[in-house]
Amino acid sequence: MKISSLQFRALSVAILCAIAPVSPAQTTATTDPVGFITINIAGNGGVTPAGFTFASLGLMNPVNYQGTADQVGTNTLSVTAGPFTANQFNANGTNPAYFVEIVTAAGAVAQATGTGTTYDILSNDGTAITLMQNLGAGILAGAQFKIRAHWTLASVFGASNQSGLGSGSATTADQILRWNGFGYDIFYYQTSGIGGTGWRKAGAPTVSASLSTLYLEDALIIKRLQSGPLSLVLMGAVKTGQTVIPIVQGSNFIGNIYAAGMTLSSCGIFTNSPVTGLAGGGASGADQILIWNSSLSNGAGGYDIYYYQTIGIGGTGWRKGGAPTVDASATAIPVGQSLIVNRKATGAFNWVVPQHPANFN
């Protein structure tokens, strides 16, 4: 499909004044606000073959456990008091079911190395959590962490497709596309053909995909083959604190992880160093951010391209492709919208995204 033919449908968010519950075994009494996101899923209007919606989740599941690590290993966190039930957070086969978020690396300030990083949980016993990835530098004994369940296809769209997406076969059902780093995983709700009923991944019609993990930072594309639109309401906890998102060389498909809009200047992706953020330069050589604009191409849509200019005519700062003299620092990254980070420079970096909004007062 041609990316310029996709149609973006905005997401609306309302933050409620309720408070998310946490595990009785927690050691810290802080809580997260909760809210809901309405994902407006575009139909094809009976005109085009498919309607496309770019969506991000923007909310999290409630906290299952919150506490302090007494011991930290290469990929383990241990709590001496033994607050866990053995196998409580085990992965579902190859799908991680829970993850750890480091709240403070070792009781340090918010910008400490490792704060805001997340790690999939492989397994646990009564005192220790074993992770699928090695912990980052700066995460020491005394680190505070939270455990939450990952979103899955079933928890977001309903185990029995309560979302109302068109069902059928791999070729007739609506599709959910998720970037895996090399291409798109394509999911659909199967009600016909060989393999039974339920969520399936294209190419595996007999294997349930209902527990397929959806990460908070995932950018999802919903391809709807039906004429009419849908509204999907997702409820969850609002993300607080800074968040670290790994950016690799090439294309990175990222969703806005917060229940508030950001701007190019506020999102923290340019740090004046290509080691820790985007590489600046000219329009052709700098790293890029691509943001969907549904008004381009006579309403067919396309991507606006932004970069941080450090050379050439027009001064220094955020610029939009084709407008090197116009400041673009206030360009919005709306709630629920995904973007593409095109990393041209050599090497990966961790994008440290500040909390949005800065406070909830």
Residue 4: the pLDDT is 31
* 46 or 268: which leads in pLDDT: 268
Residue 113: the pLDDT is 64
- Asked if 251 and 348 sit in the same domain, the reply is yes
Which two structure tokens, joined as six digits, stand for 35?
């809210």
- Asked if 212 and 169 sit in the same domain, the reply is yes
- Please write the tens of the pLDDT for every residue from 12-35: 333 343 333 444 444 444 577 898
Residue 137: the pLDDT is 80
* End position of a domain, from candidates 237, 272, 291: 237
Residue 27: the pLDDT is 46
- Asked if 178 and 286 sit in the same domain, the reply is no
* 128 or 302: which leads in pLDDT: 128
Q: Are 275 and 324 in contact (CB under 8 A)?
A: no
Residue 361: the pLDDT is 67
Does residue 5 surpass a pLDDT of 60?
A: no
Does residue 6 surpass a pLDDT of 50?
A: no
Q: What percent of the chain has pLDDT over 90?
A: 71
- Asked if 72 and 137 sit in the same domain, the reply is yes
- Please write the tens of the pLDDT for every residue from 153-175: 999 999 999 999 999 999 999 99
Does residue 177 surpass a pLDDT of 70?
A: yes
- Asked if 338 and 265 sit in the same domain, the reply is yes
* End position of a domain, from candidates 114, 149, 184: 149
Would you place residue 121 in the very low, low, confident or very high pLDDT band (cuts 50, 70, 90)?
very high
Residue 292: the pLDDT is 81
Please report the sign of the dihedral spanned by the C-alpha atoms of residue 252, residue 253, residue 259, residue 265: positive
Question: Mean pLDDT of all residues in the chain?
Answer: 88
Does residue 125 surpass a pLDDT of 50?
A: yes
Residue 217: the pLDDT is 95
Q: Does 263 fall in a domain? A: yes
Please state which of the ranges 40-54, 125-139, 280-294 shows the lowest mean pLDDT.
Answer: 40-54
Mean pLDDT of 229-257: 94
Domain span holding position 191: 3-20+30-58+157-237
Residue 310: the pLDDT is 98
Residue 1: the pLDDT is 30
Would you place residue 298 in the very low, low, confident or very high pLDDT band (cuts 50, 70, 90)?
low
- Asked if 228 and 286 sit in the same domain, the reply is no
Here the contacts of 158-165 (C-beta below 8 Å, separation 24 or greater) are 159/210, 161/189, 161/199, 163/230, 163/232, 164/230, 164/232, 165/41, 165/189, 165/222, 165/224, 165/230
- Please write the tens of the pLDDT for every residue from 87-107: 999 998 889 999 999 998 864
Give CA separation, 21 vs 18, 24, 65, 78, in Å: 10, 9, 10, 23
Q: Does 186 fall in a domain? A: yes
- Asked if 45 and 132 sit in the same domain, the reply is no
Q: Does 360 fall in a domain? A: no
- Asked if 274 and 341 sit in the same domain, the reply is yes
Residue with tokens 């309607």: 51
Q: Does 145 fall in a domain? A: yes
Please state which of the ranges 140-144, 210-214, 318-322, 343-347 shows the lowest mean pLDDT.
Answer: 140-144
* Cβ neighbours around 219 below 10 Å, total: 21
CA distance 349 to 308: 16
Does residue 359 surpass a pLDDT of 90?
A: no
- Asked if 109 and 168 sit in the same domain, the reply is no
Q: Does 284 fall in a domain? A: yes
* Domain CATH for 125: 2.40.10
Mean pLDDT of 178-206: 95
Residue 3: the pLDDT is 31
Residue 268's identity, in one-letter code, is G
* End position of a domain, from candidates 206, 237, 268: 237
Residue 37: the pLDDT is 84
Residue 112: the pLDDT is 55
Mean pLDDT of 78-94: 94
Please state which of the ranges 61-65, 81-85, 296-300 shows the lowest mean pLDDT.
Answer: 296-300
Residue 15: the pLDDT is 38
Q: Does 273 fall in a domain? A: yes
- Asked if 193 and 256 sit in the same domain, the reply is no
Mean pLDDT of 312-327: 97
Q: Does 16 fall in a domain? A: yes
* 190 or 92: which leads in pLDDT: 190
CA distance 247 to 327: 25
Please state which of the ranges 44-48, 125-129, 243-247, 343-347 shows the lowest mean pLDDT.
Answer: 44-48
Does residue 265 surpass a pLDDT of 70?
A: yes
- Please write the tens of the pLDDT for every residue from 141-151: 999 999 999 99
CA 272 to chain CA centroid, Å, is 25
CA distance 355 to 361: 13
- Asked if 114 and 171 sit in the same domain, the reply is no
Helix H segments across the chain?
153-157
Residues 6+ apart with CB under 8 A from 290: 303, 304, 305, 306, 339, 340, 341, 342
- Asked if 341 and 258 sit in the same domain, the reply is yes
Structural domain count, the chain: 3
Burial class (CB in 10 A: 0-12, 13-18, 19+), 102: buried
Q: Does 25 fall in a domain? A: no
